Amino acid sequence: MSKKIRVGVAGYGTIGQRLADGVAMQGDMELVGIADLAPTLSIRALAERDMIGANNVEYKLYLVDGADKGQFDALGIPTAGSFEDLCKSVDIMLDSAPGGVGAKNKLIYEKLGVKAIFQGGEKNSVADVFFHGYANFEKGVGANYLKLTSCNTTGLIRSVDALDRAIGIEKVAITIIRRVADPGDYHRGLTNALQMEKAPSHQALDLMTIMPHVNATGILVHTPVTHGHIITVVATAKDGKKITREQALEVFQKHPRIRVVSIDEGFKGNASLFKYARDLGNRRGDMYEIAIWEDSIVESGNDIMYAINIPQESVTIPETIDGIRAATQMQTTREAGTAETNKYLGIGKFKK
Which phi-psi region, left, alpha or beta, contains residue 18 (left: φ > 0; alpha: ψ -120 to 50)?
alpha
Distance CA 252, CA 259 (A): 8
Instruction: Select from 96, 149, 270, 338 the one that contacts its own copies (CB under 8 A).
Output: 270
- Check residue 222 for interaction with its own copies (CB under 8 A): yes
Residue 87 annotated among the catalytic residues of the structure: no
Structural contact between residues 169 and 235, judged by C-beta atoms closer than 8 angstroms: yes
- Check residue 218 for interaction with its own copies (CB under 8 A): yes
| β-bridge pairing 145-148 and 129-131 | parallel
- Check residue 265 for interaction with its own copies (CB under 8 A): yes
Q: Which stretch binds its own copies (CB under 8 A): 82-90, 118-126, 144-152, 261-269?
A: 261-269
Q: How many residues bind its own copies (CB under 8 A)?
A: 85
Q: Nearest approach, Cβ of 241 to its own copies (angstroms)?
A: 15
With residue 147 as reference, give the H or E element that holds it: strand 145-148
- Check residue 58 for interaction with its own copies (CB under 8 A): no
Q: Nearest approach, Cβ of 299 to its own copies (angstroms)?
A: 7
Catalytic residue from among 151, 172, 207, 216: 151
Closest CB to its own copies among residues 44, 123? 44
Instruction: Select from 68, 138, 185, 246 the one that contacts its own copies (CB under 8 A).
Output: 185
Distance CA 223, CA 327 (A): 36
Q: Nearest approach, Cβ of 131 to its own copies (angstroms)?
A: 26
* 294, amino acid identity: E
- Check residue 205 for interaction with its own copies (CB under 8 A): no
Q: Nearest approach, Cβ of 350 to its own copies (angstroms)?
A: 5
- Check residue 55 for interaction with its own copies (CB under 8 A): no
Closest CB to its own copies among residues 71, 333? 71
Q: Nearest approach, Cβ of 178 to its own copies (angstroms)?
A: 10
SS3 letters across 74-102: HCCCCCCEEHHHHHHCCCEEEECCCCCHH
Instruction: Select from 4, 28, 42, 89 the one that contacts its own copies (CB under 8 A).
Output: 42
Q: Nearest approach, Cβ of 13 to its own copies (angstroms)?
A: 11
| β-bridge pairing 215-223 and 195-196 | antiparallel
Distance CA 290, CA 292 (A): 7
Cis peptide, bond prior to residue 200, ω within 30 of zero: yes
For residues 10 to 29, the per-residue mask of contacts with its own copies, x marking binding by CB under 8 A and - elsewhere, is: -------x------------
**How close are the terminal C-alpha atoms of the chain, in Å?**
29
Residues 106-125 that bind its own copies (CB under 8 A): none
Closest CB to its own copies among residues 8, 285? 285
Closest CB to its own copies among residues 122, 294? 294
Residues 283-312 that bind its own copies (CB under 8 A): 283-285, 293, 295-301, 303, 305-307
What are phi and psi for residue 47, nearest 5 degrees?
Answer: -65, -35
Residues 229-248 that bind its own copies (CB under 8 A): 230, 232, 234, 236
Q: Nearest approach, Cβ of 292 to its own copies (angstroms)?
A: 11
Distance CA 319, CA 12 (A): 18
Closest CB to its own copies among residues 82, 296? 296
- Check residue 266 for interaction with its own copies (CB under 8 A): yes
Distance CA 309, CA 152 (A): 9
For residue 33, what are the β-bridge partners?
8
Structural contact between residues 207 and 214, judged by C-beta atoms closer than 8 angstroms: yes
Structural contact between residues 273 and 192, judged by C-beta atoms closer than 8 angstroms: no
Q: Longest Cα pair distance anywhere in the chain, in angstroms?
A: 67
Would you name the residues annotated as active-site residues?
Answer: 151
